[in-house]
Structure 1
Amino acid sequence: MKDFNFGHTEALHVPSLMSDEPGIEKLSAADFGKDFRWGTATAAFQVEGALADDGRGPSIWDTFTKQKGKIKNNHHAEIACDFYNRYEEDLDLVVALGFKEFRFSLSWSRILPAGTGQVNQKGIDFYNRIIDKCLALGIEPWITLYHWDLPQALEDRGGWKNRDIVDWFSEYVTRCALEFGAKVKNWIVLNEPMAVAGLGYTTGLHAPGKKGLFNFLPVVHHLALCQAEGGRILRANVDKAYIGTALSCSHVQPFSTKPRDIRAAQRADAIMNRLFIEPTLGLGYPSDVFPFLKGINKFMKPGDAEKLVFDFDFIGLQNYFRVIVRHSYFAPVLWLEEVPAKKRNVPLTAMGWEVAPDGIYEILKQFGSYKGIKEIIISENGAAFEDIFQNEEIKDTRRIQFFEDYLTHVLRAKKEGVKVGGYLAWSLLDNFEWAEGYHPRFGLVYVNYETQQRTVKDSGKWFTRFLRG
């Protein structure tokens, strides 16, 4: 995750809907229907390690993690979870937990070390081994083409700010489609493009660490063009492909009923939720409530309005928290601020995010109202909490409660007609959590980073029971 946060906001607490009282039953996977997809997920840079092995080129995150002070405790991902060498063990865990779907991303730098041109066959072979292992175990592989790790060679040429990236990305997607399309049918083009534009090129909190609002609009437009173009390339080259893109979305609420707070919430919603879905649906950028976005017009070329459109088979929604905002005179352009969580008594995760299960219901209803969306997959949802070791087991009761509560609201939306077709828990493993380093643990499986020993947490065991009904 974790999107273009205006600060860490947490909103009003909604009590758990789950109960042990008589007459109120716990959920099971069967409640969602026999065709509902259940899986878990990882991302290449967060788990693979082996950054210099077998011909992989450097990515912007390799460079960023070497800069002092960019990552908490100066952590790096040179080993991470050693998934590069331990993928078979980890895929066995996917089966043991009871999941049938596994989402992972491809490292662009491992396939095309320079971003374009020469293909690294050892990188192709590695991902084929993962795919083959998945299929042998009866797991459906889901490939994410871009999960933030742009080749450094392309950033040196302007990265996402350079319109040429549409051609670079097209070359990469074509190569991946041709190499893996015969065996993989589930594809996600981009992971959370808003985070790339906001955190990577505006606030500088993520790689490549660029700062300046002037970067935001061209980067947004080039990401949106690539999102649609990637879909078209997959459609042309992969038979019976199931194609989507993954957007981090948060239900936005105004702090009060004052008109200026309501307008602030509308602007925040335009940025956080509408910015990448509406262009692909042919609705254009949401400048109706945020005139600043009209500035994208100077980066538009003839035909771009049509090029932004693609008919995705599904939209991946990634939800962790909701956002409460109010008007602020001290934030030019946006004119808003998040309401600090510490001023309200709300439950928080280890990331400082609010636990707000009804927020996932609200955002599902919001996206479900778009006529052009065929299906929604929850492509990420999970939480980081402090894990408690007790009698050689890992007690993470709060994470279990999190999943119960959020899934209750997913089911609520589904019963009300929202076309939700699957849920991928974030994440399979504790991993390198970007600028936060290794402290936040999202995994269903605990990773001892010194020994690389894996231990299934109580939340992982809970999922096994949940899936088996």
Structure 2
Amino acid sequence: MQNIVFDKDFLWGCATASYQVEGAIEEDGRKPSIWDTFCSQDGTIMNGDDGSIAADQYHRYKEDVQLMSDLNFQAYRFSIAWPRILPEGRGTVNQKGLEYYINLSQELHSKGIKVVATLYHWDLPQVLQDEGGWAVRSTAYAFAEYAKVCFEALGPYVDQWITLNEPFCTAYLGYLQGIHAPGIKNPQQAYNAVHYLNLAHGLAILEYRKSGLKAQIGTTLNPSLPRPASRKAEDVRAARYARAIFTDVFLLPLVGKGYPVEVTQDMHISFPIQSGDMQIIAQPIDFIGINYYMERAVVLDESDLFLHREVPSWQRTTNQDWPIVPYGLLRILKYFDTVTNGLALYITENGCASDDELVEGRVHDHFRCDYINEHLAACKQAIDEGVNLKGYFVWSFMDNFEWAWGYSRRFGIIYVDYESQERFPKDSAYMMRDIISGYCEY
């Protein structure tokens, strides 16, 4: 048994994303996103699920905020739905959409909970995808316009801003593997998306600095630093390749170090860089968010597009077959601390899917409790070793639409009965309450 104690100024939060929890996809002027379109296609989502109702937070946000308050959470990280704010992707602003996020923010503040707003968590307006989506340069500028609208309207209410969530997933899952919206399988479009997402972030930061707002702003990555499966030089190199293509193409440009040579030279991948782009991307930011769930092992495979291949792991897995490797989070935190020269870091997502069962109003998800505890121990070790880690947001606050998995996987610390929309705190929710209180032995 151990008692891990964090400093009193460590920020404890919970997180969700607009399309995963809001529902109300046709209300108050919202227009379709790429996920609405993707879900409507046969075979894309498990069980034919979609986000049309999700956890109905659009109508139930007051209830959810009260639950957050009851559990002692200090911050709520949510995302703003671009199609609610600019239904046509750019141009006319939808005031009803802004009002929802103002009301949500005011409700959070009334309970003493900080507002952490993510501008983009994957729900690109479909009209912009019709123009080429993230594979074309104009989308980065449309994002900057959207960001400016949000800064101007929501600036007084937001305590912390995040530009993008996991550009890795947008670029590679959406444009390379095709398993996320918009469902494209085209390597060059994926590489274009990498660069235009990076550019969109930089353009948004420029707009923010012009706004005069003082809240902190950063971005969120889901870094992948697979470990080599052996001590062989080729497998060590394979791990470096994996880190370069999945993490460094997003991280290094943020800190002014450009795209990694392993990608541009060894993999012969080109990005559509124009003069001044890299300076825009490298605008100073206040923090980086890290989403972490798992780590895998790799070996060299020169026949692979990215020169490496994953091999089986020995660790316990979640019900998504994701290996549980808390030490991997420590390695990532230390790597980011080194590359960014001590920039403030936040864990903006961490959690797991498990086989939760509701019995007489209770869910005894001790598997999730163990997962969270093990990763918090890694966070505390990182802090003890000098990493500037400032907070932790559990994923997810509530069960929700889990993208291609539909509603078949539950990540929440709150159980959602999707038929009645009734909420039930799981044991992990009560554990988080005790951790935030400052005393929790496990």
TM over 0.5: yes
Structure 1 letter corresponding to 2:298: V
Q: Report the secondary structure of 2:14's partner residue.
A: strand
Does residue 347 of structure 2 align to residue 378 of structure 1?
Answer: yes
Which whole-Å CA distance do the structure 1 matches of 2:370 and 2:340 have between them?
A: 33
State the shift of 1:131 in Å: 0.8
The match for 2:427 among 430, 438, 458 is 458
Which whole-Å CA distance do the structure 2 matches of 1:138 and 1:185 have between them?
A: 12
TM-score by length of 2: 0.96
Deviations 1:84-122 (A, max 9, x none): 100000011111111010000000000100101111111
Deviations 1:400-440 (A, max 9, x none): 01111100010000011000000011010000000011111
Q: Report the secondary structure of 2:270's partner residue.
A: helix
Does residue 228 of structure 2 align to residue 251 of structure 1?
Answer: no
Deviations 1:271-299 (A, max 9, x none): 222111110111001124662566435x1
Aligned to 1:109: 83
For residues 339-358 of structure 1, what are the structure 2 equivalents within 5 Å? 339-341=311-313, 344=314, 346-358=315-327
Contact 1:217 1:293 in 2 (8 A): no
The match for 1:163 among 128, 131, 137 is 137
Q: Report the secondary structure of 1:32's partner residue.
A: coil
Structure 2 letter corresponding to 1:26: N
Aligned to 1:229: 203
Give the direction of change, closer, same or farther, for the CA distance of 1:294–1:180 in structure 2 (3 Å limit): farther
The match for 1:402 among 371, 379, 389 is 371
Q: Report the secondary structure of 2:309's partner residue.
A: strand
State the shift of 1:179 in Å: 0.3
Contact 2:71 2:430 in 1 (8 A): yes
Unmatched runs of 5 consecutive residues or more in structure 1: 1-19
State the shift of 1:249 in Å: 1.5
Contact 2:245 2:263 in 1 (8 A): no
Which whole-Å CA distance do the structure 1 matches of 2:267 and 2:159 have between them?
A: 35
Which whole-Å CA distance do the structure 2 matches of 1:171 and 1:389 have between them?
A: 44
State the shift of 1:387 in Å: 1.2
Does residue 63 of structure 2 align to residue 85 of structure 1?
Answer: no
Give the direction of change, closer, same or farther, for the CA distance of 1:71–1:377 in structure 2 (3 Å limit): same
Does residue 299 of structure 2 align to residue 326 of structure 1?
Answer: yes
Contact 1:250 1:320 in 2 (8 A): no
Aligned to 1:39: 13
Contact 2:25 2:32 in 1 (8 A): yes
Does residue 283 of structure 2 align to residue 310 of structure 1?
Answer: yes
Aligned to 2:70: 96
Structure 2 letter corresponding to 1:170: A
For residues 165-244 of structure 1, what are the structure 2 equivalents within 5 Å? 165-244=139-218
TM-score by length of 1: 0.91
Identical aligned residues as a percent: 41
State the shift of 1:453 in Å: 0.5
Aligned to 1:282: 256
Which whole-Å CA distance do the structure 2 matches of 1:392 and 1:106 have between them?
A: 31
Structure 2 letter corresponding to 1:417: G
Contact 2:151 2:208 in 1 (8 A): yes
Aligned to 1:4: none
Aligned to 1:5: none
Contact 2:165 2:219 in 1 (8 A): yes
Give the direction of change, closer, same or farther, for the CA distance of 1:65–1:373 in structure 2 (3 Å limit): farther
Deviations 1:326-383 (A, max 9, x none): 122542x312211134xx4x20001110111111111101111124452001010011
Q: Report the secondary structure of 1:414's partner residue.
A: helix
Give the direction of change, closer, same or farther, for the CA distance of 1:373–1:415 in structure 2 (3 Å limit): closer
Which whole-Å CA distance do the structure 2 matches of 1:353 and 1:54 have between them?
A: 38
Which whole-Å CA distance do the structure 2 matches of 1:64 and 1:458 have between them?
A: 34
Aligned to 1:362: 331
Which whole-Å CA distance do the structure 2 matches of 1:467 and 1:170 have between them?
A: 36
Structure 2 letter corresponding to 1:233: E
Structure 1 letter corresponding to 2:420: T
Deviations 1:181-200 (A, max 9, x none): 12213000000001111000
Contact 2:267 2:306 in 1 (8 A): no
Structure 2 letter corresponding to 1:334: F
Contact 2:267 2:307 in 1 (8 A): no
Unmatched runs of 5 consecutive residues or more in structure 2: none
Which whole-Å CA distance do the structure 2 matches of 1:371 and 1:250 have between them?
A: 16
Deviations 1:143-186 (A, max 9, x none): 00000000000000011111011220111000000001122130
Aligned to 2:46: 72
Paired residues in the alignment total 438
Aligned to 2:397: 428
Which whole-Å CA distance do the structure 1 matches of 2:13 and 2:327 have between them?
A: 22
Which whole-Å CA distance do the structure 2 matches of 1:238 and 1:181 have between them?
A: 10
Higher relative CO (Cα under 8 Å, sequence separation at least 6) belongs to 1
Contact 1:201 1:208 in 2 (8 A): yes
